[in-house]
Amino acid sequence: MAFKSIQPARRRLADEVYEELIEAIIRRDIGPDDSLVQEKLAAEMQISRTPVREALMRLENEGVLEVSKRGSFRLYQMGDEEVKELYQSRAAVEGQCARILAVNHTPEDIAYLRGVVEREENVTDHSVRGYFEANRNIHMSFVERANNRFLMDMFNMIWGKALVFPLFATIENVELEKSLGDHMQLVDVIASGDKTEALEVFTDHIQDGFNLQIAGLHAS
């Protein structure tokens, strides 16, 4: 019987709150000037402070929130320098995945990745959110196939922070479209089996994303 593994862990109220907060941040319901107060959130959600508190602290731990003057929480604001560092860490994680995959991939991996890129690059949702998701899905699929749970954790941490800024997603649609059409080369270089080249191609791709990002930020 494998039913139990479908329900992996106990669902706590704090998880609910955590996800609702992230959703609210993505929807821009929560802005940089809002202060998140345990009591108010608890009242709004009709629950007690305890799970709210837990969710807020988790988000703080992940670097999404920070404590503001009065002790309450607010969105963490990233500066240009930090954005650079975040992209560097992306390159570390995804570059290593590329190296792993270059050395160690099956034909099925390549076919799967080609499928993902093809599907996601032709996404019909042309919103900023849509592009963000498509881009993330593509990059995530490489990490998935590298089959390393720690690299996957790190990937999620990084992209989680990206929600906040709003990073990886501020650029105008036209540029997003351009940057989204460039992923098949990533599969190709993995298929070539050259791990050093794979790392360079991935690093350059992510660097391009960074440049677009910075340009987009300074345009607005």
Positions that interact with DNA (CB under 7 A): 10, 12-14, 35-40, 42, 47-51, 53-54, 56-57, 69-73
| Residue 85 contacts a second copy per CB under 8 A | yes
> Is residue 199 a contact point for a second copy (CB under 8 A)?
yes
Regarding 122 and contact with a second copy (CB under 8 A), the answer is no
Nearer to a second copy, 71 or 107 (CB): 71
* Residue 82 touching a second copy (CB under 8 A): yes
Cα(79)–Cα(32) distance, rounded to whole angstroms? 13
Q: Work out how close the CB of 46 gets to DNA at its nearest, in angstroms, rounded to a whole number.
A: 7
CA angle 147, 148, 150 (to 5 degrees): 155
Selected range binding a second copy among 23-31, 96-104, 122-130, 167-175, rule: CB under 8 A: 96-104
Under rule CB under 8 A, residue 91 binds a second copy: yes
CB contact at 8 A, 53 and 18: no
The two three-digit tokens of residue 195, written as one number: 């791990």
> Where along the sequence are the contacts to a second copy (CB under 8 A)?
9-10, 54, 57-58, 61, 63, 67, 71, 82, 85-86, 88-89, 91-93, 95-97, 100, 147-151, 153-154, 157-158, 196, 199
